[in-house]
């Protein structure tokens, strides 16, 4: 198969050229390739050809919450969103805290056969913050990282042990940063709009305190740590300063944190309820700046699908989260359109950096590499329609929003797993 005439996003530059895919690998990259007899040619004129996008922070809900999403629907949403690899968080039921659940997820992913799915194990048993989960066994079964996502490990002492023990197995902790005593029932960002709506807010320090704690632990122990879904300007600054003095910290953010602010909550729409909460314009700008200067390494969707019933209730009772896989690329593409990133920078944050952080194969277009490729029209304008999502989770605050950038083909190991025209 030949991808013809696309703009190839390489590590440091974009070039026009053709890619030949054979035996699941990128066989040849050249300014112009001649098709062999019977070889398929996909016309990529005017399209971007990127290394397969990687979303390292996704909730697939299976096992246990299949009403919200399952591995099949989540994987379908992933390839529709341009992702060839995704990492799924362990807050399922049962929690991913042992090799059995890791093995189950990997087996289901193989059966579904759409994209590569890498399970993330819980840091503590049952995510209860008391004893370490079966970290070694989960690594053996295929877990690629550890996370308590949804909350923090409350005890700094246990967190330090987790980081050390995980490091023996080459695993990183991906840290959801939230001090429960400061959040104290807060459902939105503490600010003007929290007061306007009377919804309980939580201050930035609720997130920043734990970001600072994880940075301190990483620095003291000289171990790597990864900060999940950064949402505050002050959190960006903590990470920037830590990186400057050599702390092995990496970080991610989500499209909603650089697209929306807490103004979105003013009409009590539960679709805007997400953790950490949407914050203020100064935070949004700092997130963009952090992505620009490399303080924030990755863009992830934090895809958190929910059943309609979980959102059709009072704001306080609604579930946290946004179904993000199918809008992540277009919302992130806006950063390129706004001049904050170029395509190489965008692809680093959506593919190369996640691969590097989690030691995954991928993130580069090079001969001999697995043919994981995402082809998109960077200029096509479309309107977000949750009814058209293939994810079971239709929960998005972006319904009706005009966005730019559409996935045309998602290719995994040389096979087309998604094509927009459906053929």
Partner 1 sequence: MKRRKDILGLRELEAEEIDEILTVGLSMKKLLKQNIKKLPHLGGRSVITLFYENSTRTRCSFELAAKYMGAHVVNVSSATSSVQKGETLVDTGKTLDAMRSDVIVIRHPVGGAPQLLAKTVRAHVINAGDGMNEHPSQALLDMLTMRESFPTLAGRKIAILGDIGHSRVAKSDLFGLTKLGAEVTMYAPRTLLPTGIEHMGAKICSSREEAVEGADVVMGLRIQLERQHAGNFPSLGEYAKFYGVDETVLRYAKPGALVMHPGPVNRGVELTSALIDGETSKIEEQVLSGIAVRMAMLFLLTKEEIA
Looking at beta carbons only, is 201 or 405 nearer to partner 1?
201
Does position 190 bind partner 1 by CB under 8 A? yes
Stretch touching partner 1 by CB under 8 A, among 5-13, 210-218, 287-295, 311-319 = 311-319
Contact stretch for partner 1 (CB under 8 A) within 87-95, 170-178, 192-200, 338-346: 192-200
Q: Does 274 bind partner 1 (CB under 8 A)?
A: no
For residues 346 and 349, what is the distance between their CA atoms, to the nearest angstrom?
5
Taking CA atoms, 384 is separated from 29, 305, 381, in Å, by: 34, 16, 10
Distance, in Å, from the CA atom of 237 to the CA atom of 225, rounded to the nearest integer, reads 16
CB of residue 265 vs partner 1: minimum separation in angstroms? 9
Q: How far, CA to CA in Å, does 95 sit from each of 20, 112, 140?
A: 42, 21, 17
Closest to 134 measured CA to CA, from 97, 183, 83, 187 = 97
- Find the shortest distance in angstroms from Cβ 319 to partner 1: 13
Radius of gyration over every alpha carbon of the chain, rounded to an integer in angstroms: 21
Contact set for partner 1, span 127-156 (CB under 8 A): none
Rounded to the nearest whole angstrom, what is the least distance from the CB of residue 261 to partner 1 in the complex? 13
Choice from 198, 246, 339, 368 touching partner 1 (CB under 8 A): 198
201 lines the binding site for partner 1 (CB under 8 A): yes
Stretch that binds partner 1, among 16-24, 32-40, 207-215, 313-321 (CB under 8 A): 313-321
Q: Which is nearer to partner 1, 317 or 359 (CB)?
A: 317
8 Å CB contact between 254 and 324: yes
Please give the residues from 316 up to 355 whose contact with partner 1 meets the rule CB under 8 A: 316-317
Smaller CB separation from partner 1, 201 or 276: 201
**Cβ 232 to partner 1, closest distance in Å?**
15
Nearer to partner 1, 192 or 359 (CB): 192
SS3 assignment, position 172: coil
# residues near partner 1 by CB under 8 A = 21
Contact 89, 120 (CB under 8 A): yes
From 48, 143, 199, 373, residue interacting with partner 1 (rule: CB under 8 A): 199
Query: What is the Cα–Cα distance from 282 to 191, expressed in whole angstroms?
Result: 12
Determine phi and psi for 297, rounding to 5 degrees: -80, -35
Burial (0-12, 13-18, 19+ Cβ within 10 Å), 284: buried
Structural tokens at position 407: 């996935």
Which of 65, 104, 315, 418 is in the footprint of partner 1 by CB under 8 A? Answer: 315
User: Which sign does the torsion angle of CA 264, 268, 273, 277 carry?
Assistant: positive
Helix axes 205-221, 233-244, angle to 10 degrees: 10
CA distance 48 to 30: 15
Q: Of the listed 179, 283, 302, 372, which one is catalytic?
A: 302
Q: Is 200 in the site for partner 1 (CB under 8 A)?
A: yes
CA distance 414 to 388: 26
Q: Among residues 187 and 407, whose Cβ is nearest to partner 1? A: 187
Single residue of 36, 111, 314, 421 touching partner 1 by CB under 8 A: 314
C-beta of 198 vs 339, nearer to partner 1:
198
- Candidate residues 46, 131, 268, 367; the one interacting with partner 1 per rule CB under 8 A: 268
Output 281 or 361, the one with its CB closest to partner 1: 281
Catalytic residue flag (residue 149): no
Beta carbon of residue 264, minimum distance to partner 1 (angstroms, whole number): 13
CA distance 411 to 197: 45
Q: Is 32 in the site for partner 1 (CB under 8 A)?
A: no
Which stretch of DSSP H or E encloses residue 26?
A: strand 25-30
* 181 makes contact with partner 1 (CB under 8 A): no
Cα separation, 377 vs 383, whole angstroms: 14
**Residue whose token pair is 């001649």:** 34
80 vs 189, beta carbon nearer partner 1 = 189
Name the residues annotated as catalytic. 302
**Residues that bind partner 1 in the complex, under the rule CB under 8 A:** 190-201, 267-268, 309, 312-317
């Amino acid at each position: 198969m030949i991808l013809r005439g696309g703009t190839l996003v390489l590590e440091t530059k974009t070039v026009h050229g053709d890619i030949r895919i054979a035996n699941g690998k990128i066989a040849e990259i050249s300014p112009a390739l001649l098709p062999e007899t019977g070889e398929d040619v996909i016309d990529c004129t005017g399209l971007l050809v990127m290394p397969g996008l990687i979303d390292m922070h996704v909730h697939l809900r299976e096992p246990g919450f299949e009403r919200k999403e399952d591995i099949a629907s989540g994987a379908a949403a992933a390839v529709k969103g341009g992702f060839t690899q995704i990492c799924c968080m362990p807050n399922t039921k049962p929690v991913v805290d042992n090799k059995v659940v890791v093995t189950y997820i990997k087996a289901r992913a193989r059966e579904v056969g759409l994209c590569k799915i890498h399970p993330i194990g819980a840091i503590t048993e049952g995510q209860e913050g008391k004893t370490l989960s079966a970290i070694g066994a989960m690594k053996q079964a295929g877990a690629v990282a550890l996370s308590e996502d949804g909350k923090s490990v409350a005890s700094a002492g246990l967190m330090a042990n987790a980081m050390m023990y995980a490091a023996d197995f080459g695993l990183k902790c991906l840290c959801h940063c939230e001090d429960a005593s400061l959040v104290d029932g807060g459902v939105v960002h503490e600010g003007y709009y929290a007061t306007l709506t009377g919804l309980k807010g939580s201050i930035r320090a609720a997130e920043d305190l734990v970001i600072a704690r994880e940075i301190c632990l990483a620095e003291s122990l000289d171990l790597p740590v990864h900060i999940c879904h950064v949402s505050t300007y002050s959190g960006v600054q903590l990470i920037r300063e830590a990186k400057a003095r050599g702390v092995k910290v990496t970080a991610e953010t989500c499209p909603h944190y650089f697209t929306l602010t807490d103004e979105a909550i003013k009409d009590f729409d539960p679709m805007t309820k997400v953790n950490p909460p949407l914050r203020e314009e100064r935070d949004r700008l700092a997130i963009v700046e952090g992505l620009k200067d490399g303080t924030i390494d990755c863009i992830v969707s934090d895809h958190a699908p929910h059943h309609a019933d979980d959102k059709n209730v009072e704001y306080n009772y609604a579930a946290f989260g946004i179904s993000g896989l199918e809008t992540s690329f277009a919302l992130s593409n806006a950063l390129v359109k706004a001049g904050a990133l170029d395509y190489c920078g965008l692809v680093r944050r959506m593919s190369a950096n996640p691969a590097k952080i989690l030691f995954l194969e991928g993130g580069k277009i090079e001969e001999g590499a697995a043919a994981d490729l995402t082809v998109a029209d960077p200029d096509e304008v479309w309107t977000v329609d949750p009814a058209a999502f293939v994810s079971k989770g239709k929960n998005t605050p972006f319904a009706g929003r005009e966005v730019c950038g559409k996935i045309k083909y998602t290719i995994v190991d040389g096979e087309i797993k998604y094509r927009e025209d459906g053929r």
